[in-house]
Every structure is written in C-alpha cells, then in structure tokens.
Structure 1
Amino acid sequence: MSKKVITFGEVMLRLATPEYKRFSQTHKFGGTFGGGEVNVSVSLANFGIPTSFVTQLPNNDIGKACQQSLNELGVETNHISFGGERLGIYFLETGAVSRGSKVVYDRANSAFSQLKKGDINWNEVFADANWFHWTGIIPAISEGATEVLFEALEKAESYGITVSCDVNYRSKLWREGAKAEEIMPKLIAKTDILIGNEFDAEKVLGVDTDIVAKGEFTNQSFLETTRELMKKYPRVKKIITTRRGTISANHNSWLGIISEGKQVLQSPVYQMTHIVDRVGGGDSLMAGLIYGFLNYPENDQQIIDFAVAASCIKHTVYGDVNLASIAEVEKLMQGHLHGKIDW
C-alpha cells in the first residue's frame, strides 16, 4: 500500500447563503464541512492518494458528524483528537458580478484552538506517511496549535518526510499579541514545498523587496522573490503561486507558476467565466501539486499544469472541497474546455 499524505489543521462548519442571497435576505443556510488542510485531503482522496487528516474535534454530535463526513469522502480520521468546546463556524455570502463574496468567522474557542503539546501522537501519525501538509492559518489560531504544529514539523523531519505549506496569510485571523513575521519563519525553515507570493515574502517571511510597493507582479518578480526566499530558507526546494485576474465575482482568469530558483514555468491561462464556488481554489491547487510531485517528480511543467487544471475544476464545484477525478483533470489539460455532455 502506498504511503499516506498527512494534513493537519482546523475543520469548520460552513454555513452558506443559497442562490447568491445576502445575509439579510436568507432564512436558511447550506451546511458543509471544510477548511484549508482538510480540503487538500479530500481532493487527494479523489485522486486515489491515501490520506489522513489530523485535527481536534468537539466530542459531540457535530464533531462526530464531521468525522463521518470525512470518512465518507475517503479520508482517514484515525488520529483525530476529541476535546475542546465547539466546532468553528464560518458564514459565507456568495457574491455575483460586481458584488464580492463575504465571510464572517465564528471560531473563537474552537476545539482545534484548544490543542496543546502532547495531544497528538506524531510517531503513530507518521509511521506510514511520506508527506505532511500545513498552512499559515494554524499558527494564527492559537499558541497551543502552533506548538503542536512545531512538534509535527520536528517529528516529520526526523522521519525524512516531505513537508509542504500554503502561507495563506490573512491578517484578520491572527490572534492578539502574535506576529506572523516572528512565528512563520521558524516554521517555514522546516518546510520543503511552499505556496506563497511576493506579498507573503515581504509581509511575513522577511524578504525585503519593492515589488509590493510597485504592485508589479510578473514572472520575473516571482523568480527574484523565489531566489531570495531560498537563500533565507535553504530547505525550500520549490515555490509556487497563482495569478488570479478578477473580471467579476463570476469571471476570473487563472494560472499558476512554479520555480526552483533558476527559472519560472507557467501553466496555461484558464478563463473561468461562470464560477460556481471559488472557496477552496488554493487548496485544490495544493492537492494537485502534491499529486504531481508524487507521480511525476521530475516534471515541474506537468506538475503545475495538473495543479492549475484541478483548481480550475474546483471553481465549478459547490462547497469547500474539490470532487474532481484524475480523468477529469487530464481531460481539461488536453484542451477539452467546452463542457459538453459526455454521452
């Protein structure tokens, strides 16, 4: 049996307004489970990659329903800890045309935020694993979760496990008194594959450039940033980012680029003219990258092409998670953009 990909993070209950309604208009919400790291696990499970999600859930009916939902989606949950007070929630109002989407968080004192050192047996978690994925949301949530993440990174290093991170910097999420620019560098130093851009490098990872001030994000600016990041974090081997062009809330252009510090490779540009749900777009990209690195590790062009195509399909799927198959992704990569019925 293939070794597993381990993801670690917070899963939340998503409550979304139906039919593009505003919060003030609706009397009902559609409920699904999601979150950056668990979204990666679900996507990988759809690609046939064995995956295990590690978190802490409340020991109540909602926590158990969440675990059952993940099991039904093919994700192993044997190493989930149960404790804490509640499952975090976020409310989503889906935008349309010139009105952007809105998110309201209700995640204070969540079960995941109450994790502490020793709650997860990382020796057991990593016993049959070859990849570990985390995001910058974890250290934003609580000191305890950050300490558990650091435990995981040290243990993954001792096992020789590849580590990936999506910086995913969101200033409004960071807890009071915690500074991303002080915490994140210590964690990135133990990471091999990174999703991040010029903004993340300057605001969070300690690389000083004038790129953000100029607002000129190009392949060349990304290459320069990649080189500086790799000097500062010698363990990092590949850095990936996306470029989203927003024509409207429903119409975006989408591409990805990857660099190993010597050159930049770019995916095709996709015109997503009718977005169903963009939440989880970056997570689906990360899952595509992991699949690519595991299946064709010497072909960066194929890796970024697969990842961006997978993410493009995610924008057509309602909910946080990408329910795409390998065949669907490869069909899109081959240029089948018409969306005709497959009789």
Structure 2
Amino acid sequence: AEVDWFHFSAIVPAISRNLVAVCDEALRFAEKKNIIISADLNYRKKLWQYGEQPAEVMPELINYCDVVMANIWSANTLLGIDVDENIHDKKSKDAYTDHAYNTSREIIRRFPQCKTVANTFRFDEGEGIHYYATLYHNAQQYISREFRNNKIQDKAGSGDCFMAGLIFGLKNEWDPKSTVDFAAAAALGKLQEPGDLTNNNIEAVKYIMENHE
C-alpha cells in the first residue's frame, strides 16, 4: 500500500544525535514523496542528555511538518516559542486557549510548511482530570468540548491517542471542530484504561465524544 502519512515523536531525536540524523533522512524522503508529515512535540527532560538543547535540534525537523501537536509549554521548550510564565496564576480557560492561539500562529509563522497546530491541556483535579484541546487550521482556532473524569487509570498513551484521533479526523476530512472533539475524546478514553495501549475503537471514541457529561 502507498504511504500517505509519516508521523514522528520528539522522543526520538531526544535520545541521540544519530537519531536526529535518522529523523532528518526520513523526513527528507517523505517530503520528496509528498507524504503528509506530522510531529508530536512531547518533551521528556530525562532523555535529552547528549549535550544539545531541544530548541537547537527540533526546529530543523519541524521545518518539514504539515501538522504539529504540542502544548504551550512544550512549544516553548522544544521550539523556543514564548510562553507566559504566569499563565497558571490566571486560572482561566480563556487565557489558556488565547495563549494556544498565539502559540499556534507563531509556529505557523516560523514553519511555513505547517498548516495545522493542535494544543492540548490536561489538568489534574484530585484523582481525576480536566482535559480539552485546541486546533488551529486555516487561520481559525477551534476549541474542543471540555472533558472531566473523577478518576483516571493511567496517563500513559493519552497523547498518542489524541494524535491518532487528530490524524484520523484530518485524513477523513472532517470539519476542524469535530476533529478536535474526536481527538480529545480519544485521549480521555485512554486516561480511563491501564497500560500504554488503548482498546477503544472508533465507535467507542465517538460514544465518549457524544455522551460524556
């Protein structure tokens, strides 16, 4: 089957300079083949141990990307995009989503190949979680519905599930609001499952998206 989408995680170039070169080679090949490229800007501080700062490494790779998933803090650490250090003091969803809007616009300004940026927000609430996301596409930002759960099973893999939902919506040419709602619901579903992998299928995610209170 023909490959039409290449996705990579910032965890890979975090491991070694050799893997930065591997990523770069793969991205150059994908670009030549007109394959859509996406990246997850997940930051793992303990992995960056080979002497270069993330913001010295990641921009050269993000130059190839059509779609970027981030949050306002990882965009700061990995790409050098400004972040308001006092944003938490504002305790406001509007402040967070306005910041996501500015972060998304700056990513697209710096990396013209990029046309779509998602930002996720996940806040602990006791044993539970408060989750929502934004999607910037065609110069407009779309905000997902808010999801809350009183108790989570495992945080591992929720970002991967968000990204999978995002790619699924974009590939199927859903409208941006439905896409970001589906991606956020996929993440919430994973937060209620133990382990790294999800057992939720498309219908299960749609059910969460449409019925979660």
Q: TM-score, normalised by structure 1?
A: 0.58
In the alignment, is the contact (CA less than 8 A) between 2:137 and 2:176 conserved in 1? no
- Equivalent in the alignment of 1:142: 16
Question: Does the 8 Å CA contact 1:199/1:212 hold for their aligned counterparts?
Answer: no
Among candidates 226, 233, 236, match of residue 114 of structure 2: 236
Cα gap change, 1:218 to 1:261, in 2 (>3 Å): farther
In 2 relative to 1, CA 336–224 (structure 1 residues): closer, same or farther, beyond 3 Å? Answer: closer
Q: TM-score, normalised by structure 2?
A: 0.91
How far the C-alpha of 1:336 sits from its partner, in A, is: 5.2
The answer to whether residue 166 in structure 2 is matched with residue 296 in structure 1 is no
Higher helix share: 2
Letter of the aligned partner of 1:287 in structure 2?
A
Q: State the distance in 2 between where 1:210 and 1:173 align.
A: 22
Q: Cα gap change, 1:328/1:214 in structure 2, threshold over 3 Å: closer, same or farther?
A: closer
The residue number in structure 2 matching 1:84 is: none
Matches within 5 A, 1:6-21: none
The one-letter amino acid paired with 2:117 is I
The residue correspondences of 1:56-75 to structure 2 (distance < 5 A) are none
Higher-Rg structure is 1
Say if 1:223 and 1:261, in contact at 8 Å, map to a contact too.
no
Alignment partner for residue 7 of structure 2, among 130, 133, 138? 133
In structure 1, the residue matched to 2:104 is 226
* Preserved CA contact (<8 Å) 1:192 1:237: yes
Structure 1 residues 336 and 168: alpha-carbon distance in aligned structure 2, compared to 1, 3 A threshold: closer
1:332-343 alignment runs, 5 A limit = 332-335=208-211
- Provide, for residues 139-186 of structure 1, a one-character-per-residue CA deviation record: whole Å limited to 9, x for no partner: 111122211111100000000001111110122210231221111000
Question: Is 2:71 aligned against 1:194?
Answer: no
Kept in 2, the 8 Å contact 1:223–1:262? The answer is: no
1:269 paired to 2:142? no
User: How far off its partner does 1:261 sit?
Assistant: 6.3
CA distance in 2, matches of 1:329, 1:167: 23
CA drift of 1:296 comes to 2.4
Task: Please give the secondary structure, in 2, of the residue aligned with 1:252.
Answer: strand
Identical columns (%)? 32
SS at match of 1:256: strand
Instruction: Please point out which of 277, 280, 297 is paired with 2:157.
Output: 280
Tell me if the contact between 1:313 and 1:324 (Cα under 8 Å) persists in the aligned partners: yes
- Per-residue deviation, 1:231: 0.9
Q: Does 1:253 align with 2:116?
A: no
Q: RMSD over aligned Cα, in angstroms?
A: 1.7
Q: Which amino acid aligns with 2:7?
A: H
Contact 2:14 2:54 in 1 (8 A): yes
Query: 1:188 & 1:204 partners in 2: Cα distance?
Result: 10
Shift, 1:223, TM fit:
0.9
Contact 1:296 1:302 (8 Å CA) reproduced: no
Show the counterpart of 1:305.
181
- Would the aligned equivalents of 1:133 and 1:164 in 2 still touch at CA under 8 Å? yes
- Residue 160 of structure 2 aligns to a residue in which SS? helix
- Extract unaligned runs of 5+ from structure 1: 4-127, 338-343
Structure 2 partner of 1:73? none
Structure 2: runs of 5+ lacking an equivalent: none
